[in-house]
């Protein structure tokens, strides 16, 4: 009769789950997966403290920071890595739900939840400071669209074709619950600049749409953002909500306000309706 395999301890299970989520290793033997990164410095610190080479929730943030400051290939950005971590955490959570040991299941669910929250927090940090984790490539993140747009569009059923890309943005999708967690936070200091940038990009995308073009993706994204209290507050506090200036009049406000392009979109060629209404505002 074959001997039963020894049951893993909660510490061993936690280590396995965290290695899978963050794609890291504390030993030089990273296996066949080229995405796995060996965290030599953290491994040395753990050994110097007299502890076993295992990942734990107490080490989670140190591991993530060390991984983010590592080198990223052209095929993956820090933002994409964090999104992938969040998706892997979601996948691990589904596996954990099948655990028979209720005590172990509860502990591991807590670990996965903490990992998800950490990914969201560092996505905010990265978007607010795009160059922080771009070691040796500080200009790569400048003058680019927000990487949040493909996730928002995937959430509302749109594409990124009108945002300087094509198709479904390389298959990037929002992990379940990620955007809700991202925008649910009431910390306006960190989210407000991100949201204002998104509104400006959405405004710019609609301005490029012809009268018969596809403006619905941008409109759905706008409606998705303003349903969050922080999103609505950020929109009405935008400098372009009601533009001000010495020479500002009704016509100028109509042409420069943040929402004006959304009101100008029409299925009528050449905006015939507005042309037929001389008192509405500017001549179009």
Percent of the chain exceeding pLDDT 90 equals: 51
Of the ranges 15-19, 117-121, 163-167, 247-251, which one carries the lowest mean pLDDT score?
163-167
Among 85, 91, 49, which residue's Cα sits nearest to residue 67? 85
Instruction: Round to whole Å and give the CA distance between 148 and 183.
Output: 11
Q: Does the pLDDT value for residue 85 go beyond 90?
A: yes
Evaluated on CA atoms 240, 246, 249, 255, the torsion sign reads negative
C-alpha distances in angstroms, 6 versus 1, 9, 12, 92?
Answer: 15, 9, 12, 22
Q: Which long-range contacts (CB under 8 A, 24 or more apart) does 258-264 make?
A: 258/199, 258/200, 258/203, 259/203, 260/203, 261/203, 261/206, 261/207, 262/203, 262/206, 262/215, 262/218, 262/219, 262/222
Predicted pLDDT at 72 = 66
Instruction: Round to whole Å and give the CA distance between 39 and 53.
Output: 11
Evaluated on CA atoms 193, 196, 202, 204, the torsion sign reads negative
Of the ranges 121-125, 210-214, 258-262, 266-270, which one carries the lowest mean pLDDT score?
266-270
Among 24, 12, 22, 96, which residue's Cα sits nearest to residue 54? 12
Residue 278 or 210, more confident:
210
Angle at 159 between CA 92 and CA 216, to 5 degrees: 125
Instruction: Round to whole Å and give the CA distance between 122 and 56.
Output: 18
Predicted pLDDT at 234 = 93
Among 93, 78, 70, which residue's Cα sits nearest to residue 18? 93
Which pTM was predicted? 0.81
Angle at 144 between CA 120 and CA 163, to 5 degrees: 95
Q: Does the pLDDT value for residue 277 go beyond 50?
A: no
Task: Enumerate the domain spans of the chain.
Answer: 7-139
Taking each helix axis as running N to C, give the angle between helix 188-207 and helix 148-156, from 0 to 180 degrees, rounded to the nearest 10.
Answer: 70
Predicted pLDDT at 30 = 65
Q: Does the pLDDT value for residue 95 go beyond 70?
A: yes
pLDDT digits (tens, 9 = 90+) for 150-194: 999 889 876 555 444 433 444 568 999 999 999 986 666 789 999
Of the ranges 40-49, 231-240, 248-257, which one carries the lowest mean pLDDT score?
248-257
Predicted pLDDT at 232 = 93
Residue 251 or 266, more confident:
251
Q: Does the pLDDT value for residue 65 go beyond 50?
A: yes
Predicted pLDDT at 252 = 75
Stretch 99-115: mean pLDDT: 95
């Amino acid at each position: 009769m074959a001997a039963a395999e020894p049951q893993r301890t909660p510490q061993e299970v936690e280590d396995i789950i965290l290695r899978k989520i963050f794609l890291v290793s504390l030993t030089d033997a990273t296996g066949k997966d080229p995405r796995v990164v060996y965290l030599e410095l953290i491994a040395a610190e753990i050994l110097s403290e007299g502890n076993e080479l295992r990942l734990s929730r107490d080490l989670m943030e140190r591991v993530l920071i060390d991984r983010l400051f590592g080198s990223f290939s052209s095929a993956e950005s820090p933002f994409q890595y964090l999104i992938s971590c969040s998706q892997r955490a979601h996948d691990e959570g589904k596996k954990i739900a099948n655990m028979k040991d209720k005590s172990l299941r509860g502990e591991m669910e807590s670990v996965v939840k903490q990992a998800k929250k950490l990914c969201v927090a560092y996505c905010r940090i990265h978007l607010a400071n795009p160059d922080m984790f771009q070691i040796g490539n500080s200009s790569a993140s400048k003058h680019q669209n927000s990487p949040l747009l493909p996730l928002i569009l995937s959430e509302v059923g749109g594409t990124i074709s009108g945002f300087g890309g094509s198709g479904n943005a390389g298959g990037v999708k929002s992990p379940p619950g990620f955007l809700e967690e991202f925008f649910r936070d009431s910390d306006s200091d960190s989210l407000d600049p991100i949201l204002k940038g998104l509104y400006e990009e959405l405004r710019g995308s609609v301005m490029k749409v012809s009268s018969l073009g596809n403006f619905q993706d941008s409109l759905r994204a706008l409606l998705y953002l303003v349903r969050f209290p922080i999103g609505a507050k950020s929109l009405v506090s935008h400098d372009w909500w009601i533009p001000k200036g010495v020479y500002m009049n009704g016509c100028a406000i109509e042409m420069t306000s943040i929402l004006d392009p959304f009101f100008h979109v029409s299925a009528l060629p050449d905006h015939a309706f507005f042309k037929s209404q001389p008192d509405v505002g500017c001549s179009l």
